[in-house]
Chain A
């Protein structure tokens, strides 16, 4: 089957000011993302992978270079268009879940679906992530793994084409981490969503269709896995 290109990244660089220091976070990155692909971006902290993810998600704009989705250039977008892009095309999962503390699990998901056009059925999604009976709990009443599952539900329920996950297992123990990875894998396969995970945890790369390795703001290696390992068998 021929792979369809979802996103194109061409010679993207990013520098930003942090306090009194100028940081070259990303240097001349180029690659493509395909529809339904499971990609893991690997690298130590400070390698520029979060910056890359933010640029892919329309959360940040590059200092140089161009980014396309379905042949449309998002680097041309203004603030408003970027908002619409994030609303309709992208789902985010963060390392620290970032749920609204004073909204219940279900309300956190609804917060996202309220503003988009093709939202999926929330109750079904809640069941899919295994939280059908914890819908009315507040984040403070849930474990880290449960909170991350809410965050995934929040991202998926919008029915985006692209799911961007920033260290989704970073704050979780091994068991819970594996469970979250399985969930993301299931979503990738079941809903045919492109999933991009960034992590410094090398073994996670084994479940990916493709691994992009980064160091000091540069892409140093790109490798396809012919036979990705099921997440349940990963160990670290």
Chain B
């Protein structure tokens, strides 16, 4: 081995602490890169494979009723390959606890070989055309403890129907099991899917020889828009309610979002970690090169060229980086296996296609090399300027001068001597100051994010259920009812206030942009919805016109005053154009809102409502359960609580992020303090000779770090704010929009955590200061 390389290894051994702390930052970054990227890739492949295996549909259409014979007509549309009809209805399930409302979607399975959205058999057997036999979706079966051979009972058309469970299945259509877009979170014990024979479904729901849903596969994905357009026209007479493209299918969309988020994270967070590592390496090398000035001179005198010496130091950076990268790769692969398992479990994917993508490992190492070589070259660059002869002479003293603060006499006069030294020290090495402050500011920012995230979810729910929606209960009827239904509800429970509600899905369009959403009609003087615009000002529903939520306005690219088209799915009703009268903030879900009277006039039937909103302290759920036409009773409090429970689980990830932030902070502060001590060993030794105690010197360094931490935290506030904004943007979907409300307690908590990290790093340097041999340091020209 070359002697310079031996020197390098010994140099690394002598700075173990620094080596380990920097390598750890690299390890963390690359571990996240490799594991997130691989998991995203594996997850995507698994889902793709699952879809292929089960023949996942390209288009899903919901109609009022379409006869079996019309399916051939649909198939004639250019571009359509297969059409399959089914009957699907949501009905209540009979359960022991009367208070509990459980709904199941009963879906018919055609009696044919190659089915679209075929089921993945897990247990038991498929229906084989027997009526009253059902196969149950795995998530639901697990959540409700349903096994093969059990009987379940559903209320269908007012009577109880007993069903025998003959199998447990997984469905590619319900990987992410949610009743609808408004559900937000899967609640498999409250909503499930069961599959029955087609004959049974048609008979039970009164759909002899007809269907209410179509599953379609098309020949060419490129022609999706064309096909959908033609399909809409063709299905118009059958009362088309919704046409959903595969990419917008709820479960699929949630999965895609998840993969996308994972992929985004794999690209951003590792870069942040590598940048921090590169910065520390840069500072460290600058210091080493400075310290090695004479050695570099000697090497040059012996006959070593610039290139050889430069590469000696770049290797230093590379060894740290590659060590980190190797460990990061290894841990990343292990973690990706684990993560994939977790995802498969969480999403109830019945299979997993997992492999190791060596490309990511190569990328990880290449990326590290680029960062480290760059940091190494930048840090070791001063090597080029060292002249062998100059290096032997003592360095010329730095141009001194008064610092800015000294020119403010009333301030400077009141600063104690030790603080004067501290302030001068900081001012003397501005570059180090800038890096350290930036580093700590970054740590602070990274710490703010998880604290914010934890709070943001709570904020999101409390703002949505409480500030925006103020009702206690929301009741949905199973079919549009006359307004008189309100009276029935009122009589059954002690209700303080009740409002009618009209909610229908419509397609909103502007130009080529379109989106199917529920339009909610409520009275203009509603007491249950507090509409606010983006300036947080309350606005009232207009007599005519429509309010869109901000997310929806963005999708449709419309502003206040624009006209949009509402495509009406209700048979016999025409499409209408309405003016956007306001853009309202809503953190959960995407909706449009109208004055209920106007909505009845233009879009639906007069006098009909689909539900009511209620203010009541009564046990409404219990009391209205016997009303035949009540489909769902939601208690807003219950919703909020179940979300908050869900959030408890999220605390772990907050904790992990905090630890990551802490490691970064530690690496930054520890390294820069060690460097600072080494650089100033001569100065400290002189102070010791003058009679300073080790304690005094330690206090001085502590004061310096304290001052820098304070500056860094102030600087970190906007950094943290920016990061939170970025995270919120990245995580915003059609369904969620995370409000960026940063309260002082977020900043204070993060500040306490950052000070904690700095304190720990500071403690770790204690030994170095106490172990400083000041006589030796004074004797040597090279410290």
Task: Using CB atoms and an 8 Å cutoff, list the residues of chain A in contact with chain B.
Answer: 18-20, 50-51, 54, 57, 59-60, 79-80, 83-84, 86-88, 90, 92, 94, 96, 98, 100-103, 107-108, 110-112, 114-116, 154, 158, 166
**B303 adjacent to A115 (CB under 8 Å):** yes
Decide if B655 is an interface residue (CB 8 Å cutoff): no
Cα separation A57 to B303 with both chains bound (whole Å): 11
**A83 adjacent to B781 (CB under 8 Å):** no
In this complex, the member of B295, B301, B306, B393 whose beta carbon has the largest number of chain A beta carbons within 10 angstroms is B301
- Find residues 731-783 in chain B having any chain A CB closer than 8 Å to their own CB: 781-782
Task: Using CB atoms and an 8 Å cutoff, list the residues of chain B in contact with chain A.
Answer: 2-4, 6-7, 10-11, 14, 294-295, 297-306, 308, 387-390, 392-393, 396-397, 399, 781-782
Chain A residues contacting B294 (CB-CB under 8 Å) are: 98
A-B contact pairs, 16 of them (CB 8 A): A59-B388, A60-B387, A83-B306, A86-B302, A86-B303, A87-B304, A90-B303, A98-B297, A100-B295, A100-B298, A102-B11, A102-B14, A103-B7, A114-B2, A115-B302, A115-B304
**A59 adjacent to B396 (CB under 8 Å):** no
Chain B residues contacting A166 (CB-CB under 8 Å) are: 392
**A54 adjacent to B7 (CB under 8 Å):** no
Chain A residues contacting B782 (CB-CB under 8 Å) are: 101
Q: Report the minimum CB–CB distance from A97 to chain B (whole Å).
A: 9
Given A18-B396, A102-B11, answer yes or no on A86-B300 (Cβ-Cβ < 8 Å).
yes
Least CB separation from B305: chain A residue: A83
Q: Report the minimum CB–CB distance from A53 to chain B (whole Å).
A: 9
**A19 adjacent to B303 (CB under 8 Å):** no
**B781 adjacent to A96 (CB under 8 Å):** yes
Chain A residues contacting B2 (CB-CB under 8 Å) are: 114
**A114 adjacent to B3 (CB under 8 Å):** yes
Chain B residues contacting A51 (CB-CB under 8 Å) are: 389
Q: Report the minimum CB–CB distance from B369 to chain A (whole Å).
A: 25
**B387 adjacent to A88 (CB under 8 Å):** no
In this complex, the member of B11, B387, B388 whose beta carbon has the largest number of chain A beta carbons within 10 angstroms is B388
**A60 adjacent to B298 (CB under 8 Å):** no
Cα separation A128 to B406 with both chains bound (whole Å): 61
Given A110-B3, A115-B304, answer yes or no on A98-B389 (Cβ-Cβ < 8 Å).
no
Chain A residues contacting B390 (CB-CB under 8 Å) are: 60
Cα separation A116 to B387 with both chains bound (whole Å): 21
Least CB separation from A96: chain B residue: B781
**B303 adjacent to A60 (CB under 8 Å):** no
Given A59-B387, A103-B3, A107-B3, answer yes or no on A88-B298 (Cβ-Cβ < 8 Å).
no
Least CB separation from B3: chain A residue: A111
**B298 adjacent to A103 (CB under 8 Å):** no
Cα separation A87 to B388 with both chains bound (whole Å): 13
Q: Report the minimum CB–CB distance from A117 to chain B (whole Å).
A: 11
**B302 adjacent to A154 (CB under 8 Å):** yes
Given A59-B387, A107-B3, answer yes or no on A116-B303 (Cβ-Cβ < 8 Å).
yes
Cα separation A94 to B391 with both chains bound (whole Å): 12
Option from A101, A107, A108, A112 in Cβ contact (under 8 Å) with B303: A112
In this complex, the member of B2, B299, B389, B390 whose beta carbon has the largest number of chain A beta carbons within 10 angstroms is B389
Cα separation A29 to B288 with both chains bound (whole Å): 37
Least CB separation from B295: chain A residue: A100
**B300 adjacent to A103 (CB under 8 Å):** no
Cα separation A97 to B299 with both chains bound (whole Å): 13
List the 5 shortest-distance A-B pairs measured between CB atoms, nearest first: A87-B303, A60-B389, A54-B389, A102-B10, A19-B396
Given A94-B392, A98-B294, answer yes or no on A103-B303 (Cβ-Cβ < 8 Å).
no
**A112 adjacent to B302 (CB under 8 Å):** yes
**B305 adjacent to A111 (CB under 8 Å):** no
Chain B residues contacting A102 (CB-CB under 8 Å) are: 7, 10-11, 14
Least CB separation from B387: chain A residue: A60
Given A19-B397, A59-B388, A114-B2, answer yes or no on A87-B10 (Cβ-Cβ < 8 Å).
no
Option from A59, A96, A154 in Cβ contact (under 8 Å) with B300: A59
Q: Report the minimum CB–CB distance from A140 to chain B (whole Å).
A: 10
Cα separation A94 to B294 with both chains bound (whole Å): 11
Chain B residues contacting A90 (CB-CB under 8 Å) are: 301, 303
Q: Report the minimum CB–CB distance from B383 to chain A (whole Å).
A: 13
Chain A residues contacting B298 (CB-CB under 8 Å) are: 92, 94, 98, 100
Q: Report the minimum CB–CB distance from A78 to chain B (whole Å).
A: 11
Chain A residues contacting B387 (CB-CB under 8 Å) are: 59-60
19 further contact pairs, Cβ within 8 A, besides A59-B387, A86-B302, A154-B302: A18-B393, A20-B399, A50-B392, A59-B389, A60-B387, A60-B390, A80-B305, A83-B305, A90-B301, A92-B301, A94-B392, A98-B295, A102-B10, A103-B3, A103-B6, A111-B7, A115-B308, A116-B303, A158-B302
Q: Report the minimum CB–CB distance from A221 to chain B (whole Å).
A: 25
Cα separation A83 to B309 with both chains bound (whole Å): 12
Least CB separation from A14: chain B residue: B389
Chain A residues contacting B393 (CB-CB under 8 Å) are: 18
Q: Report the minimum CB–CB distance from A172 to chain B (whole Å).
A: 15
Chain A residues contacting B297 (CB-CB under 8 Å) are: 59, 98
Chain B residues contacting A100 (CB-CB under 8 Å) are: 7, 295, 298
Given A60-B389, A107-B3, answer yes or no on A92-B306 (Cβ-Cβ < 8 Å).
no
In this complex, the member of B14, B305, B393 whose beta carbon has the largest number of chain A beta carbons within 10 angstroms is B305
**B3 adjacent to A83 (CB under 8 Å):** no
Chain B residues contacting A50 (CB-CB under 8 Å) are: 389, 392
Cα separation A110 to B300 with both chains bound (whole Å): 15
In this complex, the member of B10, B295, B392 whose beta carbon has the largest number of chain A beta carbons within 10 angstroms is B392
**B306 adjacent to A79 (CB under 8 Å):** yes
Option from B10, B302, B392, B399 in Cβ contact (under 8 Å) with A111: B302
Least CB separation from B781: chain A residue: A96
Least CB separation from A108: chain B residue: B3
Chain B residues contacting A111 (CB-CB under 8 Å) are: 3-4, 7, 299, 302
Q: Report the minimum CB–CB distance from B548 to chain A (whole Å).
A: 69
Cα separation A80 to B384 with both chains bound (whole Å): 12
Option from A57, A108, A115 in Cβ contact (under 8 Å) with B301: A57
Cα separation A20 to B298 with both chains bound (whole Å): 26
Given A86-B303, A111-B302, answer yes or no on A60-B7 (Cβ-Cβ < 8 Å).
no
Q: Report the minimum CB–CB distance from B243 to chain A (whole Å).
A: 73
Chain B residues contacting A101 (CB-CB under 8 Å) are: 782
Q: Report the minimum CB–CB distance from A151 to chain B (whole Å).
A: 9
Chain A residues contacting B304 (CB-CB under 8 Å) are: 83, 87, 115
Cα separation A19 to B294 with both chains bound (whole Å): 18
Option from B295, B300, B397 in Cβ contact (under 8 Å) with A83: B300
Q: Report the minimum CB–CB distance from B245 to chain A (whole Å).
A: 66
Chain B residues contacting A103 (CB-CB under 8 Å) are: 3, 6-7, 10
Chain A residues contacting B300 (CB-CB under 8 Å) are: 59, 83, 86
